[in-house]
């Protein structure tokens, strides 16, 4: 047992010595802060955890409240899934990149879709002009999806798809491609992001208003619980919230507040919490402040476990577990001295591993300049592999547990995140807080404060505001062929000329009827996909029935 009284006496003596030294060296009085501007003390002791119920009883990995990880063995039993987020140009080009990554040792696919696909437009729509294939792969119909996964056995890989507003349509396409391979939906493993609330908060690729968007999400929950049981039906995303400028605390708080909203919506729709909650997953960012990031992941698990057990009354321990994918921080990468980004990504990936992530994407060094080249992607993947096989970080579970500093940070993030969640509850929940602009304003304030610190040189970014060098224009960057748009338009024209239009019209009519009523939307969407109705046609029907979201810009 720790003798806290004696420890406090010794600590006060030590502090007096420090103050005396500071009189001689005043520069030592500088206040250090974390990446989120939380003060960092000179030293941490057990006194920093004396008021925490959880820190005195950390528990074991795989046991409630999962501070130390959701599995008892963690990486000693199985390494995290190594994904590289990829997709550009045509389905053919992206398929070749996926096969290359799998050959290099990647263990899961992560699909990036272009902007028109993300907002439910076909490549021949006027608003798609100039954007086809630029930030991801263009998918207009089942025909494109068949090419995208051609030669990749979908019962052998886990696939993550970063798609939100039209998530139901892309999931339906994936299910039908698997059918055509002879793979049943029950054998599929993967995740759709399907997180519309963070689109309203931070990212902007929304289509429909909140109410019908939440209906689509809960329809996916219900359908997959019966037909695609191994699929993660949502990846509740703090990643984009952090990219927009949120602090680590805000990332945890706003992400879990969104999670609460999804759980409440599913319960209102008549689903039992233990039917869908085990398939909820999360998606977090990893930034440069190594210890704060580790603490963030640990705190998030602990908070979510209590939310699910104590607030929602979930009985299944799997419903209490916060399982998450991590991506290293895109907003931390610099166009200046891009090789420095390799070191940044290494630190961020290490934080994710020390924090207990279930899967990981490492950004490439050239992503501040263009889509990553094959060489840059290979280095990013090798970063994960070196951490996994050479660093020793995966050989014991939660290796930083018990660190006075890390436990203090974990407690602080937990406490401050819970304060934010209560404030959001008082406003009526995440949807109401978004509609009132509260969450957006909090993120904007944090982003502004960070930028001011950088511009005043109070926060050093190596190569950006300190240690600059004269650089030549970068060479060898990946560029998407502008002809991709015309190629996609030609494919669409050929598809429409050769498909059975009566089947398409019938399927879209069935979808319209379901959308105007209360039936689950997944079966008619699957019917439309099988008939080779396009993404734009399917989303067009839903736009007509649901309307489009117009953000409140008054905050």
pLDDT for residue 165 is more than 70? yes
Cα–Cα distance measured from residue 550 to residue 541, given in angstroms and rounded to the nearest whole number: 18
Rounded CA separation 99/81 (Å): 16
97 confidence band (pLDDT: 50, 70, 90): very high
Compute the distance between CA of residue 465 and CA of residue 455 in angstroms, rounded to an integer. 8
CA distances from 304 to 134, 286, 310, 314 (A): 36, 19, 10, 11
- Give percent above pLDDT 90 in the chain: 82
Domain range for 251 is 55-81+160-391+406-455
Higher-confidence residue of 487 and 85: namely 487
Q: What is the mean pLDDT of residues 495-522?
A: 98
For the chain, the maximum distance between any two Cα atoms, rounded to a whole number of angstroms, is 86
536 part of a folded domain:
no
Token pair for residue 454? Answer: 């950088």
Asked whether residue 208 is assigned to any structural domain, the reply reads: yes
Residues near 426 by beta carbon (within 8 Å), at least 6 away in sequence:
none
Q: Would you mind telling me the total number of residues written for the chain in this entry?
A: 555
Among 55-59, 67-71, 250-254, 371-375, the least confident range: 55-59
Q: Please check whether residue 294 lies inside any domain of the structure.
A: yes
Judge whether residue 272 has pLDDT over 70: yes
In a domain, 260, yes or no: yes
Q: What is the mean pLDDT of residues 327-335?
A: 97
Region 281-307: mean pLDDT is 97
- The closest of 486, 477, 490, 533 to 132, measured between CA atoms, is 486
CA distances from 183 to 99, 109, 144 (A): 19, 17, 18
Give CA–CA dist 361/352, Å, rounded: 10
Dist. CA 70–CA 323, nearest whole Å: 7
The reply to whether 107 falls in a domain is no
The predicted pLDDT at position 121 comes to 98
Confidence check: pLDDT of 106 > 60 = yes
Dist. CA 69–CA 506, nearest whole Å? 49
Q: Is the pLDDT of residue 308 over 50?
A: yes
Q: Do residues 111 and 159 make contact, with C-beta atoms less than 8 angstroms apart?
A: yes
Q: Is residue 493 part of a domain?
A: no
Is the residue at 151 inside a domain? no
C-alpha 525/C-alpha 510 separation (Å) is: 9
Residue 28 has pLDDT above 60, yes or no: no
Whole-model pTM?
0.90
Q: CB atoms < 10 A from the CB of 302, how many?
A: 24
Residue 440 lies in a domain: yes
Percent of all residues in the chain with a pLDDT value above 70, rounded to a whole number: 95
Q: Give the model's pLDDT for residue 51.
A: 53
Question: Tokens representing 322?
Answer: 């916060």
- Tokens 């960012």 map to which residue? 285
- Domain with 289 in it: what CATH number? 3.20.20.240
- In degrees to the nearest 10, what's the CA dihedral of 269, 233, 431, 357? 140
Residue 333: other Cβ atoms inside 10 A: 20
Specify the number of domains making up the chain. 1
| Residue 407 phi, psi (nearest 5) | -65, -35
pLDDT digits (tens, 9 = 90+) for 400-429: 998 999 999 999 999 999 999 999 999 999
* Separation between Cα atoms, residue 267 and residue 186, nearest integer Å: 24
On whether the CB atoms of residues 29 and 23 are closer than 8 A, the answer is: no
Whether residue 123 is predicted with pLDDT greater than 50 in this model: the reply is yes
pLDDT higher than threshold 60 for residue 221:
yes
Q: To 10 degrees, what angle do helices 290-306 and 248-268 make?
A: 20
Question: What is the DSSP secondary-structure string of 297-347?
Answer: HHHHHHHHHHIIIIIS---SHHHH---EEEEE-GGG--SSSTTHHHHHHHH
What pLDDT does 30 receive? 64
């Amino acid at each position: 047992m720790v003798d806290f009284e004696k420890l406090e006496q010794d600590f006060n003596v030590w502090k007096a010595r420090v103050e005396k030294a500071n009189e001689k060296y005043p520069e030592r009085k500088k206040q250090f802060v974390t990446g989120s501007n939380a003060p960092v003390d000179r030293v941490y002791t057990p006194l920093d955890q004396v008021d925490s119920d959880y820190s005195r009883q950390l528990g074991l990995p795989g046991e409630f409240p999962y501070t130390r990880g959701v599995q008892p063995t963690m990486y000693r039993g199985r390494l995290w899934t190594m994904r590289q987020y990829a997709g550009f140009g045509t389905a053919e080009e992206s398929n070749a990149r996926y096969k290359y990554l799998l050959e290099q040792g990647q263990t899961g696919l992560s699909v990036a879709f272009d902007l028109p696909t993300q907002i439910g437009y076909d490549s021949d729509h006027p608003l798609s002009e100039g954007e086809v294939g630029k930030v991801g792969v263009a998918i207009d119909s089942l025909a494109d999806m068949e090419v995208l996964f051609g030669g990749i056995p979908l019962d052998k890989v886990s696939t993550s798809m970063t798609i939100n507003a039209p998530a139901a349509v892309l999931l339906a396409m994936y299910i039908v491609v698997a059918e055509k391979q002879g793979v049943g939906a029950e054998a599929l493993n993967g995740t759709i992001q399907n997180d519309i609330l963070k689109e309203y908060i931070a990212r902007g690729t929304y289509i429909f208003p909140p109410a019908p968007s939440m209906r689509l999400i809960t329809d996916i929950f219900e359908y997959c619980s019966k037909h695609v049981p191994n699929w993660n039906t949502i990846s509740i995303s703090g990643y984009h919230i952090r990219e927009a400028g949120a602090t680590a605390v805000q990332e945890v708080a706003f992400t879990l507040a969104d999670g609460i909203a999804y759980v409440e919506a599913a319960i209102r729709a008549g689903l039992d919490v233990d039917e869908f909650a085990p398939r909820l997953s999360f998606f977090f960012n990893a930034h440069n402040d190594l210890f704060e990031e580790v603490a963030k992941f640990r705190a998030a698990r602990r908070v979510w476990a209590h939310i699910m057990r104590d607030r929602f009354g979930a009985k299944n321990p799997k419903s209490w577990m916060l399982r998450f994918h991590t991506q290293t921080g895109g907003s931390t990468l610099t166009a200046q001295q891009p090789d420095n980004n390799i070191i940044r990504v290494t630190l961020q990936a290490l934080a994710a591993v020390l924090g207990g992530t279930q899967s990981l994407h490492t950004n490439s060094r050239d992503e501040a300049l263009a889509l990553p080249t094959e060489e840059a992607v290979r280095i990013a993947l090798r970063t994960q592999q070196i951490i996994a096989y050479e660093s020793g970080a995966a050989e014991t579970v939660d290796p930083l547990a018990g660190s006075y500093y890390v436990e203090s940070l974990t407690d602080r993030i937990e406490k401050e995140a819970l304060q934010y969640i209560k404030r959001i509850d008082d406003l009526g929940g995440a949807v109401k807080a978004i509609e009132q602009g509260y969450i957006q304003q909090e993120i904007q304030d944090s982003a502004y404060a960070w930028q001011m610190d950088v511009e005043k040189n109070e926060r050093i970014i190596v190569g950006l505001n300190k240690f600059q060098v004269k650089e030549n224009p970068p060479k060898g960057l990946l560029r998407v062929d502008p002809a991709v748009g015309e190629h996609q338009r030609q494919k669409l024209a050929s598809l429409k000329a050769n498909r059975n239009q009566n089947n398409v019209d019938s399927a879209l009519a069935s979808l319209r009827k379901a959308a105007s009523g209360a039936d689950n939307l997944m079966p008619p969407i699957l019917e439309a996909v099988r008939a080779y109705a396009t993404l734009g046609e399917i989303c067009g029907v839903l736009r007509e029935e649901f309307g489009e979201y117009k953000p409140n810009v008054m905050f």
